[in-house]
Chain A
Amino acid sequence: MRTESVILENKTGLHARPAADFVKKASSFKSDIKLIKDGSEFNGKSILNVLSMGAVKGTKITIKAEGADEDLAVSNLVSLIKSFNE
C-alpha cells in the first residue's frame, strides 16, 4: 500500500470536469484507489464518490493505492491533482 497527500489548488474545487479526469486516470490502474478527506474514504474510481467529497480549493487530499501498480498510480494521480488549474 502507498499513500501520499496533496493540497488541491483548483479554484473551483474538485468539480465535474477535474473529477472526471481524475476518475479516468484512476480507472486506468489495476490498484484499488481511495481518496481520503477529513478521515472519510472515497472510491477514486467512482465519479459520484469523488464529486460528493465536496473538495474545495485548499483541501488536503490523501491518495491511497493498493495493488500491483500502486507506486505508479499514486505518483501519477498526485501530479494530476497538482495540474488542475482553472
Chain B
Amino acid sequence: MLKGIPASPGIAFGKVFLKETINTENLIKESENPDKELKILKEALSESISELLKLKEKTLKSMGSQHSEIFEAHKMILEDTEYTGAIENKIKDKKYTAAYAVITATEEIRKIFAEIPDEYLRERAADVKDVGERVLKNILGIKTELSELEEKVIVVADELTPSDTADMDKEKILGFITAKGGRTSHTAIIARTLGIPAVVGAKEFYEKVRKNDSVVFNGETGEIFINPNEEILETFKKEKERISRINKILDNYSKKETVTKDGKKPKLYANIASSKDAGDAFAKGAEGVGLFRTEFIYMNRKVEPSEEEQFVIYRNVIEEMKGKPVIIRTLDIGGDKEVEYLNFEKEDNPFLGYRAIRICLDRKEMFKKQLKAILRAGVYGKAKIMFPMISSLEELREAKKITEECKKELEKEGKEFQNNTEIGIMIEIPSAAVISDMLAKECDFFSIGTNDLIQYTTAVDRMNPKISHLYNQYNPAVLRLLKTVTDNAHKNGIEVGMCGELAGDETMAYFLAGIGLDEFSMSASSVSKIRWLLSETDSEKASEDVQKILEMDSGHIKKFLENKLSEIKKILN
C-alpha cells in the first residue's frame, strides 16, 4: 500500500492514464539566430492565446464563469510584458533558444511566487507554470492528450494544471492522483468541485506506477494500491458501498447538536491551518476550532511574520467562525523543518530538542508578536491561546508572564484586545500528563495532543518503519494517561479537549466518551461521523467499561473497542 494526501473523498478503481511531463533534458539551450527564435516565440505566443480563448469558451459552457475566468488570467500573463519581455531579453542578450528562454523566465517567476506566505496564493505558481508549459508545447510542437481519452481512466500526473483539467473529458475521469500538490492545489480544488476522488502529493506512488497498471485508491484516506488483487478490490468495493450508505445518514448530523444517549453534550471542533479551512469547518458543522496550526505562517519565507500580518490572518479565521471559539496554538516548529531565519542547528534528536514553546521562550520578541496578534484578533470573536510542548510548571508560568507583558504593551500602544483570552496548554509530553493536577490549577484548559503523547510515552518514532508497529494507540499506558489527565482537569474545574488524530478515530469515540472528554477536535470532514457515533453512545455505560479497558492489554483493548464500534454500526445494516 502507498499513501498520498487525501484531496477529494471517494473510491476509484481503474486503469492508469499516465500524463507524461515534457522532457526538457535534451533541449538545445542556445541559438545563433535570435531573430529566428523571436519569431518562433511570437508564433507560439499567439497560438497559445488563441488556444486559451477557445478553452475559456469551452469551460464557460461546461463549468461556468467562475472556472473559465482563470483562462482569461492566463491570457493576460501571456500579454504581460513583465513576462514576455523577460523571455525576449533572454533570447536577445543571452542567445537562448525560445524554448529555453521560456523555461528559465517561467522558473524565475515561480520562485517569486514560492515566497508568498499564504498557501492559496502561493499555489497560483501552478498557473504560471501552466502558462509556461503551454507556450513551451507550442514551441516544441507537442499536443496535449487528455482531451482525447478513449476509456474511463484514473489520471496520474506529476501535477495537473488548469489547462489539463479544462481540456479533459470529465465523463472519462474516474479519479486523479498527482505526485505534487497539497490540499489547496489546483487538482484538489477541481476534484472536490467535480466530486471526483483524488489523492495528491503521492510521490512514492508516482515513482512506482507504470503505464497500463491498474489502481484502486481511497480519496478519504489517501491509500493507493497498484494492481490490486481480488481480495483488496473486494474490500474497496465494499468500502465504497458502505461510504455511500453512511454518507446518507451523516448528512443529517452536520447541523445537529452533539448529545450522547445519556444526555451529555461534548463539543465537536475542527483542526485547521487557514481561514479557508475555517470556513469549511463552519460549513461542516464544527462548533469551534480546537487547533489552529500557526507554523505554516512561519514557513517558506525569508523573514519572520510581523504582528500585523499575523493579526490579519487570525482575525480572518476568527471572523469565519462567527463567534465560535478558536484555539490558536502558538508556534510549534522544530529542527525537522527548515526555516531560514530561525537558523536551526542540526540536532541528533529534533523531536527531543529545540522546538515549539522552547524556541518561543528563548526568542521572546518573536513570541510576543504572535501573542499580541492573537490577543488583538480576539476582539473579532473568541480566541483562546494554547501553548504546545509544555513539560513543566515553570514553562507555563513563563509563557503566561510574557502574555501579561504583551497585554500591558498593547494597553500602552492603545490597541484594542481581548483581555479575558483563555490560556490553555497541550498535553503531549508524558511529564505534563503526570503533573496535570498541578498544571490544571494554573491554566484555563487542556488539549491532548495524542500523536506526540503516544510517541513520547512509548518511545516510538512512528516514522521508523522497523518499529512503527509499536506505535499503538491502544497501549493501556497511553489510555491510562488520557484518563488521568481528564480526571485531573475535571477535579480542578477546567475543560479538556483532544486535538490529535485519536479524536477523529471511530474506534476511540467510545473510550473518549467514557472518560468524559469535553471537546473533540478533528479534521472537519470527520465531524458529522464522530457526532453520529457519540449520539449513539451511552457515556455512562462507557464510563463503566473504561475501568475494565484500563486493565486489558493492547490487543484486547483494540478488539473490545472495535466490537463496540460494530455494535453501533449495526444500525446501518
Interface of A toward B, CB cutoff 8 Å: 11-17, 19-20, 23-24, 43, 46-49, 51-52, 54-59, 86
Contacts and interface: CB of A to CB of B under 8 A. Distances in A.
A14 B312 CA distance: 15
Contacts of B77: 47-48
B279 interface: yes
A43 B115 CA distance: 18
Interface stretch (B65-73, B208-216, B344-352, B498-506): B65-73
Interface residues of B, number: 31
Given A16-B127, A46-B80, A47-B80, A56 B118 contact: yes
A55 B316 CA distance: 13
B232 interface: no
Contact of A43 (B82, B112, B315): B82
For the residues of B in contact with A, the DSSP-based class is: helix
B117 interface: yes
Contacts of A46: 80-82
Interface in B292-330: 312-313, 315-316
A13 B309 CA distance: 13
Given A12-B276, A46-B81, A56 B73 contact: no
Contacts of A55: 121
A52 B275 contact: no
Contacts, number: 73
Interface string B52-96: 000000000000001001101100110011110000000000000
Interface string B258-281: 000000000000000001100100
Interface string B101-141: 00000000100110111101110100110000000000000
A20 B279 contact: no
A11 B127 CA distance: 19
B312 A56 contact: yes
A56 to B, nearest CB: 5
Nearest to B276: A12
Contacts of A48: 77, 80, 82-83, 109, 128
B76 A20 contact: yes
Contact of A20 (B72, B109, B121, B315): B72
Identify the 4 closest CB pairs spanning chains A and B, nearest first: A54-B116, A58-B312, A20-B73, A16-B73
